[in-house]
Amino acid sequence: MQKYRYWVAGILIILAGVFIIYFSKENEIKTVTVNENAAQTTEITEASTNEPSIIPDDDKVAITDLSAKYKELGLIDAHNHDASALKYLGMLRTWKDKGVQQVVMFGDVSEPSAILTDKFAWKAYQKYPNIIIPYFSGFDLHDPESLTVVRNNLEMGFFGLGEVVGASTMSPVVSKVAWKANDPMDGYLPQIYDIIAEYKAPILLHIDPPNGVAVAKLEQALEEHPKTIIIFGHINAYNTPEEIDRLLSKHPNLYADFFAGFSVYNVEGGNNPEQFIPVMKKFPDRFMLSTDSGYGIGSEKTAIDAMYQMLDLLDDPGLARKIAHDNLDAVIKAQPATDTQLELIRKLKQETGTIYHVENLSKAEAGQILAETN
Ligand SMILES: [Zn+2]
């Protein structure tokens, strides 16, 4: 009798589980449907993610579908967290529809959970090598072991480090992560800058606030590591065009990740994206655009629309192409194949008999071969 009761209890628990899973799935499906409709009417709405939108009602103007107009630019999203919770799986279709050709992807930032999301980013790259550009962030920059992680991951084929927290005191989320740097010269960051310069790989740094000691230390890092490419993550967030101009003028190894959604849609972004156009025109080779997965603006789709709005504001097709695609593409393609990649390709040749031309192979080309034969 006792045994029978356990069985009944067990079955009831299983049924309850199935019930919960079914209804949570149904909610997901509903969300997707709402998003699709929003895209079809080409209207900016807040109906998409769990985050509340902070776009004021009167700013929700209908826009023409700029993604159709600029689709052939091959837009690259330079800063995207969709490895977290495998969110990218739900975004692949949107990227295709909206003409986002490639995505620099990572997940969590500068904390232990990033070790797992780095693995997700890598897996995504193995499956979609033409779309995903994997970066990683799962290392404790205060631990000498971080140097091994950085070297191993770059050898394996990751294209950059990021998002790495180079300093944070203001961000409600990022200021709390366990492995954040106090400033961009903290811990083993100087040694990390030297390693990544060998690989020509960039580091995408989160720095907040974008002034004071954090920026002084960033400038020290740029000066003391002139061969290291540092990308200032969401450089336009809580920052001025004058300050961006000053930094780019002074430091040729600094690149600017422009989080378009922040300037176009976030009320804290000043509601004046036009103010950044002159500095973009002044440094045509050093800007790239990103969504930051729609952080703080309600949805990643809206953040993609904002990238196109910035390109439209440029009103210069040549410059739009550079900022949408070419500048970041050049940073990625300049990275040579690593010894580890070449060794794997040699093994592949032995196993399959296929001839690969490995002279002057780039990391991207080697990564493509390895992903396809994986
Ligand atoms: Zn971010």
Q: What is the DSSP letter of 287?
A: E
Q: What is the pLDDT of residue 270?
A: 86
Query: Residue 335 to residues 93, 308, 314: CA-CA distances in angstroms?
Result: 29, 28, 29
Residues 344-366 have pLDDT tens digits of: 999 999 999 999 988 999 999 99
Tokens 């492995």, residue?
Answer: 179
Instruction: Give residue 109 CA to ligand 1 midpoint distance, Å.
Output: 8
- What single string gives the DSSP state of each residue in 337-352? PPHHHHHHHHHHHHHH
Q: How confident is the model at residue 332 (pLDDT cuts 50, 70, 90)?
A: very high
Rounded average pLDDT over 287-305 = 95
Residues 44/63, Cβ–Cβ less than 8 Å: yes
Residues 27-86 have pLDDT tens digits of: 333 333 333 333 332 222 233 333 334 444 444 334 558 988 999 999 999 999 999 999
Name 38's Cβ contacts closer than 8 Å, sequence gap at least 6: 44, 45, 47, 48, 301
Measured CA to CA, the distance from residue 336 to residue 198 in angstroms comes to 10
Residues 70-126 have pLDDT tens digits of: 999 999 999 999 999 999 999 999 999 999 999 999 999 999 999 999 999 999 999
Instruction: Give residue 7 CA to ligand 1 midpoint distance, Å.
Output: 48
| CB-proximal residues (5 Å) to ion ligand 1 | 163, 292
Measured CA to CA, the distance from residue 49 to residue 338 in angstroms comes to 39
Task: Work out the angle at residue 366's Cα, subtended by the Cα atoms of residues 307 and 162, and round it to the nearest 5 degrees.
Answer: 40
Instruction: Give residue 103 CA to ligand 1 midpoint distance, Å.
Output: 13
Domain 70-333's class?
A: alpha beta
Instruction: Give residue 88 CA to ligand 1 midpoint distance, Å.
Output: 15
E strand or H helix at 209: none
Task: Output the CA torsion sign for 45, 108, 156, 359.
Answer: positive
* 3-class SS of residue 224: helix
Measured CA to CA, the distance from residue 288 to residue 330 in angstroms comes to 11
pLDDT above 50 (res 24):
no
Q: What is the pLDDT of residue 15?
A: 52
Instruction: Give residue 244 CA to ligand 1 midpoint distance, Å.
Output: 18
Instruction: Give residue 163 CA to ligand 1 midpoint distance, Å.
Output: 6
Q: What is the pLDDT of residue 211?
A: 97
Q: What is the pLDDT of residue 220?
A: 98
Instruction: Give residue 2 CA to ligand 1 midpoint distance, Å.
Output: 54
Instruction: Give residue 146 CA to ligand 1 midpoint distance, Å.
Output: 21
Task: Work out the angle at residue 219's Cα, subtended by the Cα atoms of residues 226 and 221, and round it to the nearest 5 degrees.
Answer: 50
Q: How confident is the model at residue 6 (pLDDT cuts 50, 70, 90)?
A: low
Residues 136/118, Cβ–Cβ less than 8 Å: yes
Mean pLDDT computed over every residue of the chain: 87
Instruction: Give residue 205 CA to ligand 1 midpoint distance, Å.
Output: 9
Q: What is the pLDDT of residue 374?
A: 78
Of 193, 256, 184, 255, nearest to 227 (Cα)? Answer: 193
Number of Cβ atoms within 10 Å of the Cβ of 178: 12
Q: How confident is the model at residue 370 (pLDDT cuts 50, 70, 90)?
A: very high
pTM: predicted TM-score of the whole model, two decimal places: 0.83
Q: Which residue spans within the chain are E strands per DSSP?
A: 75-80, 100-105, 132-136, 160-168, 203-208, 230-232, 254-259, 287-290
Measured CA to CA, the distance from residue 276 to residue 273 in angstroms comes to 6
Instruction: Give residue 69 CA to ligand 1 midpoint distance, Å.
Output: 27
Measured CA to CA, the distance from residue 288 to residue 101 in angstroms comes to 14
Of 48 and 306, more confident: 306
Instruction: Give residue 77 CA to ligand 1 midpoint distance, Å.
Output: 11
Residues 126-151 have pLDDT tens digits of: 999 999 999 999 999 999 999 999 99
Q: What is the pLDDT of residue 324?
A: 98
Task: Give the domain ranges of the chain.
Answer: 70-333, 339-372
Instruction: Give residue 308 CA to ligand 1 midpoint distance, Å.
Output: 19
Rounded average pLDDT over 166-194 = 96
Rounded average pLDDT over 279-298 = 97
